[in-house]
């Protein structure tokens, strides 16, 4: 049995999802020879630290009851710097302008030789090369499957399963919120504003939806894909982005009458990287509805491979974090 | 009838005008000329030129003989066929931004044409949506015509929803 001492930085939806998944999958983890011992959890108000291992159930209950996991003041960065452990599970909320606390946490983790598994897109979309270099220099493992497509496997799929293939292009739906809004607009022949309101009510869209509907979230994911799969060095500011706010119900109907749906598609190939609403033939594998994500990977040897799955949700995203953790330490 | 014609010019000044004059004389309408001056000259050191013209089919033989009289080789004549079909959606104030001009952007190319347009205008102050079917002589030409359309649409603040590549 290998014991991995881990901290969880950020205890929002994804962080809590990770705690739940670790609890739920204890037996599975034992079977693959892993004991993931969480020695610290932090959120914006403080942290809980227990070098013997935190009781995840009570941490989750306390978070639910009090709105914070904090028992002391130490921040995630202080924990990474001062508490001995192997793995930082970085699930703080994304900051697309500066990289935020997530970027500091990751760099500090590498600086002290810790491995990092993250769901936090911002730092990767801004400072991909810097982070990769820092992890290489310290010999740290760095995994980030959860940053793109939630539970839909794509980065590890391309890097591991499709290893040896040259990837010619990747295109797909990388944002479940936009997909939901466009799908519902078509189903109900309703305007954008109405279906945005519905998705906000259902918790699918944020109160400030611009990050999703303006295509920024898709652009960040596309940058991470482009950099990790194609070895490019894009920042999200390089992406040609058009969001979905101008799409009308009439345009969806006209498209439908001609055998198309309209989807917010991210596309990367050669030197082209863009996010825009596109006409997708109804019978295309990319024409998935609801909150689903989908990606078609065009390769030289395997032809086109298409994957689809749930792109968001705390447990779904946590599942991608778990799979990264297992793939680092299993052997 | 729309006709594509591959002709060969001597590499001398004024040759292109020589070639185009008979088209005008026979009341043909020149749609496009692609002058492959930068391309490698063919074996007979002539410069290939591709043109697309609208002309009365009965005058086509006369055109060919006039060109020959002027020392211009006619390598190939063929009726223009649109083999590639495409579609785009436009969203915005389509009609109030000179819809004819928008369509002409594609039609003027000579290698692509808007063959169908369905327009939806919900209310006078709301944005309209249109579905355009575009035919082109080839895939590259189709993509080129959509690129031109996008440039014009940008000026007019229209959103162009393009098809994914399949």
pLDDT 10s digits, A124-167: 999 999 999 999 999 999 999 999 988 899 999 999 999 999 99
Q: Which domains are present in chain A? A: 2-150+314-329 (3.40.50.720), 157-310 (3.30.360.10)
Q: Which domains are present in chain B? A: 2-79 (3.30.70.260), 84-161 (3.30.70.260)
Q: Are A189 and A253 in contact (CB under 8 A)?
A: yes
Q: What is the mean pLDDT of residues B67-84?
A: 82
Inter-chain CB proximity A242 and B159 less than 8 Å: yes
* Three-state secondary structure call for residue A315: helix
d(CA A27, CA B62): 88
In sequence order, what are the residues at sequence separation of 6 or more whose Cβ sits closer than 8 angstroms to the Cβ of residue A260?
A279, A280, A281, A282, B87, B163
Mutation to test the A interface, candidates B85, B89, B130, B147, most A Cβ within 10 Å? B89
Shortest Cα distance, chain B CAs vs residue A151, angstroms: 24
Shortest Cα distance, chain B CAs vs residue A166, angstroms: 19
d(CA A79, CA A83): 5
- B-chain CB neighbours of A257 within 8 Å are 118, 131
- A-chain CB neighbours of B89 within 8 Å are 251, 254-255, 262, 279
pLDDT confidence of residue A144 = 96
Shortest Cα distance, chain B CAs vs residue A257, angstroms: 10
pLDDT 10s digits, A56-106: 999 999 999 999 999 999 999 999 999 999 999 999 998 888 999 999 999
Residue A173: closest CA among A133, A215, A209, A135: A215
pLDDT tier for residue A313 given thresholds of 50, 70 and 90? confident
Active-site positions of A read: 221
d(CA A241, CA A216): 7
Q: What secondary structure letter does DSSP report for A246?
A: T
pLDDT 10s digits, B49-60: 888 888 887 888
Token pair, residue B143, equals 């993509």
CA angle (B115 as vertex; B98, B88 as ends), nearest 5:
70
- B-chain CB neighbours of A284 within 8 Å are 164, 166
CB pairs under 8 A between A and B: 70
pLDDT 10s digits, A175-206: 999 999 999 999 999 999 999 999 999 988 88
Q: Is A1 exposed, middle or buried (0-12, 13-18, 19+ CB in 10 A)?
A: exposed
pLDDT > 90: percent of chain A: 90
Q: What secondary structure letter does DSSP report for A260?
A: E
d(CA A18, CA A320): 9
Token pair, residue B130, equals 């249109």
pLDDT confidence of residue B33 = 85
* Whether the predicted pLDDT of B86 surpasses 90: yes
Strand spans (E) along A13-166: 34-43, 46-49, 87-90, 115-118, 142-143
Q: What secondary structure letter does DSSP report for A159?
A: I
The predicted complex's ipTM stands at 0.85
């Amino acid at each position: 049995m290998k014991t991995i001492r881990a901290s969880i930085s950020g205890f929002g939806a994804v962080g809590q999802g990770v705690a739940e998944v670790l609890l739920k999958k204890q037996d599975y983890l034992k079977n693959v020879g892993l004991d993931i011992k969480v020695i610290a959890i932090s959120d914006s108000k403080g942290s809980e630290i227990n070098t013997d291992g935190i009781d995840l159930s009570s941490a989750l209950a306390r978070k639910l009851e009090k709105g914070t996991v904090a028992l002391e003041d130490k921040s995630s960065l202080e924990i990474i710097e001062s508490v001995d452990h192997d793995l930082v599970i970085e699930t703080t909320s994304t900051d697309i302008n500066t990289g935020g606390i997530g970027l500091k946490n990751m760099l500090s983790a590498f600086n002290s030789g810790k491995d990092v598994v993250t769901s936090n897109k911002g730092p990767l979309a801004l400072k991909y090369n810097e982070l990769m270099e820092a992890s290489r220099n310290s010999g740290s493992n760095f995994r980030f499957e959860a940053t793109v497509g939630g539970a839909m496997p794509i980065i590890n799929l391309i890097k591991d399963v499709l290893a040896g293939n040259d990837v010619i292009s990747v295109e797909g739906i990388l944002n479940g919120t936009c997909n939901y809004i466009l799908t519902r607009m078509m189903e109900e022949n309703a305007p954008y504003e109405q279906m945005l309101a519905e998705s906000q009510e259902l918790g699918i869209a944020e109160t400030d939806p611009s990050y999703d509907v303006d295509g920024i979230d898709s652009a960040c994911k596309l940058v991470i894909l482009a950099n990790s799969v194609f070895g490019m060095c894009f920042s999200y500011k390089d992406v040609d982005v058009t969001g979905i706010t101008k799409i009308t119900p009439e345009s969806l109907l006209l498209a439908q009458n001609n055998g198309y749906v309209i989807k917010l598609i991210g596309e990367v190939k050669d030197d082209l990287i863009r996010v825009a609403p596109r006409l997708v033939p109804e019978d295309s594998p990319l024409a998935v509805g609801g909150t689903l994500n989908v990606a078609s990977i065009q390769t030289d040897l395997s032809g086109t491979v298409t994957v689809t799955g749930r792109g968001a949700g705390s447990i779904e995203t946590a599942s991608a974090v778990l799979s990264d953790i297992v793939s680092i330490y299993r052997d | 009838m729309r006709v594509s014609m591959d002709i060969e010019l001597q590499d001398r000044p004024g040759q292109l005008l020589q070639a185009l004059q008979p088209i005008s004389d026979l009341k043909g309408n020149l749609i496009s000329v692609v002058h492959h001056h930068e391309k490698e000259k063919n074996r007979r050191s002539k410069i290939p030129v591709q043109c697309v013209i609208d002309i009365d089919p009965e005058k086509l033989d006369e055109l060919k003989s006039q060109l020959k009289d002027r020392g211009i080789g006619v390598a190939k004549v063929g009726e223009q066929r649109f083999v590639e079909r495409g579609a785009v959606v436009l969203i915005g104030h389509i009609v109030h931004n000179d819809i004819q001009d928008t369509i002409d952007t594609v039609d003027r190319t000579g290698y692509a044409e808007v063959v169908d347009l369905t327009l939806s205008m919900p209310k006078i102050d709301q944005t309209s949506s249109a579905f355009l079917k575009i035919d082109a002589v080839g895939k590259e030409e189709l993509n080129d015509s959509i690129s031109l359309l996008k440039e014009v649409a940008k000026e007019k603040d229209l959103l162009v929803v393009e098809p994914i590549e399949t």
